[in-house]
Amino acid sequence: MNYEQFVSKLEKAGIEYTLLRFYSRTYVEVGRYGYRFDEKGKSTGGWIHNCGEDWRADWYHWMALLREPND
């Protein structure tokens, strides 16, 4: 899934996000999570701002959005 498909899923679900461009990279911030995409739009990783004990369940949920085919 590329970043355009990921953003489309967020918009369909009504989830707020911030889209940032830095040279050829695209960053999508969703709450305390950030996702990085390369110049081809492919996911290259992510991070969590202020993660605590509850990060795993939320992280798996958001990473699933990157793996699922776009509907």
Domain of residue 26, CATH code: 3.30.310
> What is the model's pTM?
0.65
Of residues 29 and 56, more confidence is placed in 29
Domain housing 25: 3-67
Assess whether pLDDT exceeds 60 at residue 71: no
Q: What is the pLDDT confidence band of residue 51, given thresholds at 50, 70 and 90?
A: low
In this predicted model, what pLDDT tens digit does every residue of 3-49 receive, in sequence order? 888 889 899 989 999 988 888 888 898 888 888 898 888 888 777 76
Helix and strand totals (H; E) in the chain: 2, 4
Is residue 36 packed enough to be buried (19+ CB in 10 Å), middle (13-18) or exposed (0-12)?
A: middle
Domain count of the fold of the chain: 1
